[in-house]
Amino acid sequence: MTLEIRPFTAADWPAVWAIIQEVIRARETFPYDPDMSSAEARDVWASGRTMVAVLSGKVLGTAKMGPNRGGPGAHIATASFMVAASARGQGVGTGLCREAISWARHEGYAGMQFNAVVATNTAAVSLYEREGFEVIGTVPRAFEHPAHGRVGLHVMFMEF
């Protein structure tokens, strides 16, 4: 089976919310309130261009993307990705990241920025570096990790 990446629809929300809950409750990779409600999460995640990654009919990952800033900063895109814990290491994140880059290039963005990549999330950092991103800088001790304590948050960027 090949991974399908398609637009999020309302019917996907239960599956997407389950992934978001799993990710934010782990507190290891996203600077989101781990106690946010479904409605709050939906405001955050399903307000821009939101995609899902589907394998054998099952939603295994999700992405959201859009301009990183407004006005004079709106030519740089940003994106966020979440993958179900059970599906990691199978290329779901890579597929979502590539689709986001492809979309942003096609839309005419001049680059893509990730604002807060947890330094200990080496799977994500390595994935982004493989796709062409580099670490612009690291805010020290800006993320409270349950196992590692306060770790850095990378700003990562790729110019197109």
Minimum distance, C-beta of residue 85 to a second copy, in the bound complex (Å): 17
For position 33 contacting a second copy by CB under 8 A, the verdict is: yes
83, two tokens:
């993958």
Decide whether 14 or 149 has the Cβ nearer to a second copy: 149
Rounded distance between C-alpha atoms, residue 65 and residue 43, angstroms: 13
Per CB under 8 A, the segment of 58-66, 93-101, 122-130, 149-157 that binds a second copy is 149-157
For position 111 contacting a second copy by CB under 8 A, the verdict is: yes
Output DSSP code: residue 87. G
54, two tokens:
């589907």
Residues in CB range of 129: below 8 A, 6 or more apart:
none
**What's the sign of the alpha-carbon dihedral 71, 8, 88, 147?**
positive
For position 130 contacting a second copy by CB under 8 A, the verdict is: no
For position 139 contacting a second copy by CB under 8 A, the verdict is: yes
Three-state secondary structure call for residue 97: helix
The footprint of a second copy (CB under 8 A) covers: 24, 27, 30-34, 36, 68-76, 110-111, 113, 115-116, 135-145, 150, 153, 155, 157, 159
